[in-house]
Copies of this chain bind each other. A is one copy, B any other.
Amino acid sequence: MDQQTLTQLTDAVLGRIFIELEASGRHVHITQAQAHTLFGHDLTPERPLSQPGQYLAKERVTLQGPKGKFYNVAVLGPPRKEAQVEISLSDAKALGIAPPIRESGSVEGTPGAILVGENGTVAIGQGVIAAKRHLHLTPDSAARFGVRDKQIVRLQTYTARPLVFDDVVVRISSAFADRAHLDFDEANACGMEKGDLGRILP
């Protein structure tokens, strides 16, 4: 067996047992109209993300709250119907914003923020959340792990500071790649390094 086949086989076996952990840094999703206001043009894809079709844009924004700001914040594409800002609770403290822990897309009644681009400024009335930790799974993987969409599971991390995350929500779509998504507080709390794995506990 050559090295490449061995690597593929190993990855396939590991993928049946473990799920790769991935940390999401602070980032924003914006509408196409907001892209035009902020940058004067559509978003420009820079590189694809692990979830198929999603990309990191070349464009960056300054994210501003009542108490502080972050420069050079990632903008993810494609554009959405409504803006969403995802930050950690550490970020939230620095910005002076108190976001709830929410699933992506659930922004009703959340706090707003100010986004500044090279071409203009957008004040969003709502949309700031701390993302609820979650698993992206394909239907095949979900069936193999025996979990349903929206199910809450426990995730053991095999990391430098191992822990078990309770309250991890499962999301299933054929458009997904298998990944466990944590924010940076969570990634730091478990000492996660790129490529580290987790496992759904029974």
User: Could you list which residues of chain A lie within 8 angstroms of chain B, going by C-beta atoms?
Assistant: 88-90, 101, 132-133, 154, 160-167, 184-186, 188-191
Contact = CB atoms under 8 A, between A and B. Distances in A.
B161 A90 contact: no
The 3 closest A-B pairs by CB, nearest first: A189-B189, A185-B188, A89-B188
Chain A: interface secondary structure? Answer: mixed
A161 B154 CA distance: 12
A164, A166, A185 — which one has the most chain B CB atoms within 10 A of its CB? A185
A160 B166 CA distance: 10
Nearest to A162: B166
Contacts of A191: 89, 101
Contacts of A101: 160-161, 191
A72 to B, nearest CB: 13
Contact of A162 (B90, B132, B162, B167): B167
A13 to B, nearest CB: 24
Nearest to A155: B163
B133 A184 contact: no
Contact of A184 (B90, B132, B154, B162): B90
B163 A163 contact: yes
Given A89-B188, A189-B185, A189-B189, A163 B164 contact: yes
